[in-house]
């Protein structure tokens, strides 16, 4: 139980990586705030944590809304007495090239996928400091570091998430660690966002010849959130089955 006594928030926790991470954090002993715009999915995740003997609550959260982010952080503090771990994981986009991207797609992608990371980190920091320190994990992507056509706004946002991770790590050291996770193709609804990129095509470029599992990202997140990763900050951990190996 590596996170015993800790309080964690996971955004985008109704599905995929966020859901697996919320479950894993709870299995590691953390009390978890399950935040997502999908209220039913968030409620189901929190319920599953209860059934497994863990402690969790859910809150309907649109991470593009500063008020919702404030309410999410306050829920952890009010209900569980503080905050130790913030996992910024929610994303939204439409698969479009730069030339096809609309202003609405660009803005919503940036607001949900990048701006929310900054707003949540800003709102969480005083509470992490009040506990003597903490951890901010940001789900970036292999597309923070390598290109793929068809996702211009998403790539811009994910490049920003990695850069912001570095900035926050330097600004919030030494008490708060800030680390990005760079998943490759993971078996969630997100990997099927574009009909152009089938799973079969994706697997051809992955040395381990399979999609990753959400639980494999959750395991990485649990390690990074724990004291076992106490000397890791300001960097991105790639979990991609070898996809970005040069």
* Interaction site with ligand NAD (CB under 6 A): 11-12, 14-18, 36-38, 41, 61-64, 89-92, 112, 139, 141, 183, 185-186, 188-191
> Which of 175/192 has CB closer to ligand NAD?
192
What is the C-alpha to C-alpha distance for residues 171 and 181, in angstroms, rounded to an integer?
19
> Which of 2/94 has CB closer to ligand NAD?
94
**Element (DSSP H or E) covering residue 72:** helix 66-80
Distinct helix (H) and strand (E) counts, the chain? 8, 7
Q: How far is the CB of 209 from ligand NAD (least distance, A)?
A: 15
Q: How far apart are the first and last CA of the chain?
A: 36
Give the residue nearest to ligand NAD (CB).
16
Q: How far is the CB of 232 from ligand NAD (least distance, A)?
A: 19
Backbone angles phi, psi at 177, to 5 degrees: -95, 140
> Which of 94/133 has CB closer to ligand NAD?
94
> Which of 28/36 has CB closer to ligand NAD?
36
Q: How far is the CB of 174 from ligand NAD (least distance, A)?
A: 27
193 Cβ neighbours under 8 A, 6+ residues apart: 93, 94, 95
What is the C-alpha to C-alpha distance for residues 185 and 135, in angstroms, rounded to an integer?
25
Strands 176-183 and 134-139: parallel
Catalytically active residues, by annotation? 154
Q: How far is the CB of 211 from ligand NAD (least distance, A)?
A: 7
């Amino acid at each position: 139980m590596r996170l015993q006594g800790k309080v964690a928030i996971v955004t985008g926790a109704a599905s995929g990586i966020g859901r697996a991470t919320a479950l894993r954090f709870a299995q590691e002993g953390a009390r978890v705030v399950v935040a997502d715009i999908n209220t039913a999915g968030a409620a189901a995740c929190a319920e599953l944590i209860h059934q497994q003997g863990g402690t969790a609550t859910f809150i309907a959260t649109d991470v593009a809304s500063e008020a919702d982010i404030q309410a999410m952080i306050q829920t952890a503090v009010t209900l569980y007495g503080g905050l130790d771990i913030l996992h910024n994981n929610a994303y939204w986009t439409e698969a479009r090239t730069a030339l096809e991207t609309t202003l609405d797609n660009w803005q919503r992608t940036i607001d949900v996928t990048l701006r929310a990371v900054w707003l949540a980190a800003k709102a969480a920091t005083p509470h992490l400091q009040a506990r003597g320190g903490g951890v901010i994990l940001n789900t970036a992507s292999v597309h923070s570091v390598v290109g793929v056509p068809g996702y211009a706004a998403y790539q811009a946002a994910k490049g920003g998430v990695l850069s912001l991770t570095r900035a926050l790590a330097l600004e919030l050291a030494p008490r708060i660690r800030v680390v990005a996770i760079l998943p490759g193709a993971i078996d969630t609804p997100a990997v099927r966002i574009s009909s152009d990129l089938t799973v079969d095509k994706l697997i051809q470029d992955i040395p381990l010849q399979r999609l990753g599992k959400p639980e494999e990202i959750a395991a990485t997140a649990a390690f990074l959130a724990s004291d076992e990763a106490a000397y890791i900050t300001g960097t991105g951990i790639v979990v991609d089955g070898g996809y970005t190996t040069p």
